[in-house]
Amino acid sequence: MLTWKLATKKVTELKENPKNPRNLTKKGLDDLEKSITKFGVAEPLVVNSDGMICGGHGRKKILERLNIKEVDCYLPSRKLTSKEFDELNIRLNKNIAGEFNFDILANEFELPDLLEWGFEERELGIEKKLKDLSDKLKNTFEVVIECVNEKEQEKTYNELSGKYQCRLLTL
């Protein structure tokens, strides 16, 4: 079985994989920069013995942005074949062993924190809820009737409440 050792490498020695199928986004990189600025590089990069990055392209970009010169990397006990390298690159990005429990996120964490930490409103279902509410409000109309006294108010309410959803407001 292949084994891995942790080693410190110069960021300038690390080569980006031209076949990396992962598209880096501005938002993703900005979120990653916040994380690395606050916590450091908590997860070492995965690098083949020739310096080619297999996992950690975004982290390398942020290290360059922050002018950090060295980083911990996992190196294999032997050079990976091209097929092994490609497979590991895909697996590191695709084989995530779970998904978020949105009930726990909703009940144990604050929405502003989740948004600050990288979630988007659409991931949390907020856009859909707002759209549903917006659609409902588009079909809702309100009429205000001012009455001169309580008796007229009661009469008007009784006439309209049989046909419409009504509520009384006393100012």
Long-range contact pairs involving 15-19 (C-beta distance under 8 Å, separation at least 24): 15/50, 15/51, 15/52, 15/53, 16/53, 16/57, 16/60, 17/52, 17/53, 17/54, 17/57, 17/85, 17/89, 19/86, 19/89
Confidence of residue 104 (pLDDT cuts 50, 70, 90): confident
Domain 4-98 = CATH 3.90.1530.10: yes
Question: Which of 75-89, 95-109, 132-146 has the highest average model confidence (pLDDT)?
Answer: 75-89
Take residue 145 and report the two structure tokens written for it: 């009737």
Residue 35 predicted with pLDDT over 90: yes
Question: Which of 17-31, 41-55, 107-121 has the highest average model confidence (pLDDT)?
Answer: 41-55
The domain locations on the chain are 4-98, 104-135, 141-171
Query: What is the structure's pLDDT at 29?
Result: 95
pTM to 2 decimal places: 0.68
